[in-house]
Chains A and B, each alone.
Chain A
Amino acid sequence: EVQLVESGGGLVQPGGSLRLSCAASGFTFSSYWMSWVRQAPGKGLEWVANIKQDGSEKYYVDSVKGRFTISRDNAKNSLYLQMNSLRAEDTAVYYCARDVGGYSSGWLDYWGQGTLVTVSS
């Protein structure tokens, strides 16, 4: 059974940093692209970033470029999102998702339950 479990969310002040983790199990992690998607309270889904199987390609939504970094450790079956210079508008539930295709017509077939990030003073 595919499982994705996010952790690392919490309350952080504007300008602060946070590192999210996603522990994957039930599939060959190193064979899949992976994505982060977020959802602000009461709002729709927004894709944040994704990363290729070997980490050689990464893509980001414009609003987080230069502030967020996606990475992975295939030996630990883990996905990460380093978030720096956080803003109030980054407040959201962050989901990790298995990414089928990752580039050009890809989709997200399994999702974690999400971790809440709140940016507030």
Chain B
Amino acid sequence: SYVLTQPPSVSVAPGKTARITCGGNNIGSKSVHWYQQKPGQAPVLVIYYDSDRPSGIPERFSGSNSGNTATLTISRVEAGDEADYYCQVWDSSSDRYVFGTGTKVTVL
């Protein structure tokens, strides 16, 4: 089955840039979507189709996807960005959605 691997944690100082990777076999051939989940809350879509932002999501959030790695980039990080982040794809070989292992972003 298709596996998406994320780093367990990323730490970043306020105002700096956080990059969260999502690794998968030839993930560049798939559409990748990203979710933010704060403690005790439901996930929120922050990026879809690799790099598109839903309405209401700040421009500080951006995405890219190529080869075996997709990346969510958070620029000018704020304290409110502290959360768990998950990538997601559709795996056509098993007909199911697959989520990444999740990355906890800590703002120092």
Contact = CB atoms under 8 A, between A and B. Distances in A.
A8 B78 CA distance: 37
A32 interface: no
Interface string B23-59: 0000000110101010001111100110000100000
Given A47-B96, A59-B96, A95-B43, A105 B102 contact: no
B98 interface: yes
Interface string A82-111: 000000000000010000110111111111
Nearest to B102: A44
Nearest to B89: A105
Contact of B92 (A35, A104, A107, A112): A104
Contact of A107 (B42, B84, B88, B95): B88
A59 B44 contact: no
A105 B97 CA distance: 9
A45 interface: yes
Interface residues of A, number: 26
Nearest to A46: B99
Contact of B86 (A45, A50, A113): A45
Contact of B99 (A44, A50, A62, A105): A44
A11 interface: no
B90 interface: yes
Interface of A: 35, 37, 44-47, 50, 59-62, 95, 100-101, 103-114
Interface of B: 1, 30-31, 33, 35, 37, 41-45, 48-49, 54, 84, 86, 88-90, 92, 94-102
Given A106-B90, A106-B97, A112-B42, 19 more contacts: A44-B101, A44-B102, A45-B88, A45-B99, A47-B88, A47-B97, A47-B98, A59-B96, A60-B96, A62-B96, A95-B42, A103-B95, A104-B92, A105-B30, A107-B33, A108-B35, A108-B97, A111-B44, A114-B42
